[in-house]
Structure 1
């Protein structure tokens, strides 16, 4: 009987948390209100360890090395003094090229006008004369898979 206990399965350790850096400090919207909310949403899942920086200019590869994901809640307002600078731009692009993640949150889609690489990696941009909100309208949301973790418990339509 004792020999059999040696083969009993040990509980597996929890997977390591995903290290997230939220880059904020400037935005066209209320970043002081949204940043803590973004942090809370991520941390409340139990899957993320989140840090926040309000000053990213001058950051290099060593700043990004500990992280798996960068969440941008940042907008440079078209002001050159709020741009990150070549060192940080390069470190950020290398971070993404290495396979790490980036979330371009809301108004960050309007950041860095003219920075082609950023425009490509963000997948879409808000630019003067080339971006707008759609007209307000009502619509119906129809759930196709009620068993999916995101939609579980929601009505079929609302």
Structure 2
């Protein structure tokens, strides 16, 4: 049985207007197949959001996690055919691993100028893959693994060496006050602070922390410290964007994290930037304020029924 490559070419009214204006679709590949989070529902949410927004062609390549070893090793998406890869797999320490060929293909794709969005729990993935750790810069790692970053109240980024601070962890999801740092194109026109709905503030993400630019941060209640929420990494000629936004857990009755107008705005801006295209700096009227979250009705993908 071969792995499934599901074409989800999106053509909507908004896209027709976009094409008429002389724009080109951004080619997006979502890679999924395994995660401790609800990867099927996450992929469904992302494809719905991109369809509603318009301007994207989307394919999904599902890693055959339950297939024989030979088939798993043979899985090798054509990353080079896409402007952006959304990485939506996470096996943690004990879970599935991509084959060596697929790993090398992603490394080469990014080194040559590709873009990758490490979606939420994807920064938990592949701790034993050195180049992946360099791609994401910071991830869910043990206390002694690598450098961790915290942000002072005046916006200075401090580097903590291995062993200092704690292992990566998080408390309950909260409506966190996010503060942007600097003036990255992805944040053009946005307020300095906004209230993000139902997010996890990761404590002590760790990694090589090379070529990392912290874009925003939030205060973590248990420690009282500010930790990164969004960050980018330059990997070769490529671009990588990671955030702790967009949580989708198995059985969640609501999707506030992905219905958040702030999350959705940043998703589309991140895809623009990762694809090397001009970022649309339009600030939607419903963008959240510092005092109040802002939720949209979509996506509204129901959880899978219990087996």
TM-score, normalising length: structure 2: 0.42
- 1:75 aligned residue (86, 90, 113): 90
Question: 1:22 and 1:139, CA in 2 relative to 1: closer, same or farther beyond 3 A?
Answer: closer
Question: 1:91 and 1:151, CA in 2 relative to 1: closer, same or farther beyond 3 A?
Answer: same
Unaligned runs of 5+ in 1: 1-10
- CA drift at 1:150: 3.8
Q: Does 1:131 align with 2:172?
A: no
SS of 1:42's equivalent? Answer: helix
Q: Does 1:102 align with 2:110?
A: no
CA distance in 1, matches of 2:132, 2:177: 34
SS of 1:99's equivalent? Answer: coil
The answer to whether the 8 A contact 2:80-2:114 is kept is: no
- CA drift at 1:141: 5.8
SS of 2:58's equivalent? Answer: strand
CA distance in 1, matches of 2:113, 2:283: 25
1:1-158 to 2 correspondences below 5 Å: 13-55=21-63, 57=72, 58-60=74-76, 63-79=78-94, 82-129=96-143, 130-134=167-171, 140=177, 143-144=191-192, 149-150=282-283, 152-154=285-287, 156-158=289-291
1:23-82 Cα offsets, whole Å, 9 max, x none, are 00100111111110011112222121111111274344x7223111110110124347x2
SS of 1:76's equivalent? Answer: coil
The answer to whether the 8 A contact 2:90-2:126 is kept is: yes
Question: 1:135 and 1:39, CA in 2 relative to 1: closer, same or farther beyond 3 A?
Answer: closer
SS of 1:21's equivalent? Answer: strand
Which has more radius of gyration?
1
The answer to whether the 8 A contact 1:59-1:91 is kept is: no
SS of 1:65's equivalent? Answer: helix
Instruction: Return the structure number with greater strand share.
Output: 2
TM-score, normalising length: structure 1: 0.76
CA RMSD of the aligned region, Å? 3.0
The answer to whether the 8 A contact 1:18-1:49 is kept is: yes
Question: 1:153 and 1:131, CA in 2 relative to 1: closer, same or farther beyond 3 A?
Answer: same
How many residues align? The count is: 145
CA distance in 1, matches of 2:111, 2:288: 40
1:82-121 Cα offsets, whole Å, 9 max, x none, are 2111111110000111111000011111111121110111
